[in-house]
């Protein structure tokens, strides 16, 4: 039982027993009881916020406490995400999981589809560091989620996809592309720019390009 519940229980026994006897039997501090007693007659300060959370939850049942916080702030209510998390737990609001294969729901971006195409010889062999500049270059697609907020309306979720080409010699970003759709064109454009810069630097004759999770180029591509 919480301290509030214990204080309510004690209040219900006041007509039958002396307060000192009840507190002694339950080993409950008198100061804590008096603290809660003063608040029993006050209105619930979270009632308005709880009603707003319920309204948003009915419209967006897949919102966790982070997106719920953004949505509540979109209605002009300044609130901390920890308070939203606490109230959602109190109200028993839990986000239900869903399958990433159901098209009508938005899911996290996954490009891996198993073994597809030709797999090049493993020239890297888990040697992720190199003393040679522009010898080993890695790239991957990262999904960046952002929210479109309008006052008085629920937040809308959008995604951008970042393809970065990174030199494993010093973690330098050689080139990158940002697109609204995860596709091969953005990858190839970033690769062309990276290759052009390597040719200008005189290091483009031989390098290893490592890409993880792509359906078109699997694991390692050697120049």
Average pLDDT, the chain: 78
Instruction: Give pLDDT, residue 206.
Output: 61
Residues in a beta bridge with 63 = none
SS3 for 131-159, per residue? CCCCCEEEEEEEEEEEEEEECCEEEEEEE
Tally the C-alpha atoms within 13 A of residue 156's C-alpha that lie toward its C-beta: 7
Q: Read off the pLDDT of residues 73-111 as tens digits, 9 standing for 90 and up.
A: 988 888 999 999 999 998 888 876 544 433 344 556 666
Residues of the chain short of pLDDT 70, as ranges, are 41-43, 96-118, 151-153, 155, 202-223
Taking only Cα atoms into account, the Rg of the chain, rounded to an integer number of angstroms, comes to: 29
Measured CA to CA, the distance from residue 206 to residue 147 in angstroms comes to: 42
Measured CA to CA, the distance from residue 175 to residue 192 in angstroms comes to: 9
Instruction: Give pLDDT, residue 87.
Output: 92
**Are 145 and 139 in contact, with CB atoms under 8 Å apart?**
no
pTM score, two decimals? 0.44
């Amino acid at each position: 039982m919480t301290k509030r519940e214990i204080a309510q229980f004690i209040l219900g026994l006041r007509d039958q027993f002396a307060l000192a006897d009840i507190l002694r039997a339950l080993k409950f501090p008198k100061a804590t009881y008096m603290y809660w007693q003063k608040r029993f007659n006050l209105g619930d300060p979270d009632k308005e916020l709880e009603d707003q959370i319920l309204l948003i939850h009915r419209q967006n049942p897949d919102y966790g406490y982070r997106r719920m916080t953004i949505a509540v702030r979109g209605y002009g209510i300044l609130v901390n995400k920890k308070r939203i998390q606490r109230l959602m737990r109190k109200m028993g609001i839990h986000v239900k999981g869903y399958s990433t294969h159901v098209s009508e729901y938005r899911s996290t971006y996954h490009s891996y589809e198993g073994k597809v195409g030709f797999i090049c010889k493993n020239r890297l062999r888990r040697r992720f560091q190199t003393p040679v500049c522009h010898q080993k270059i890695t790239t991957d697609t990262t999904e960046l989620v952002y929210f479109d907020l309008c006052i008085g309306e629920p937040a809308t979720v959008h995604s951008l996809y970042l393809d970065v080409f990174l030199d494993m010699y010093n973690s330098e970003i050689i080139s990158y592309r940002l697109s609204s759709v995860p596709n091969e064109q953005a990858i190839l454009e970033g690769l062309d720019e990276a290759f052009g810069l390597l040719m200008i630097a005189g290091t483009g004759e031989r390098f290893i390009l490592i890409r993880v999770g792509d359906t078109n180029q699997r694991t390692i591509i050697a120049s």
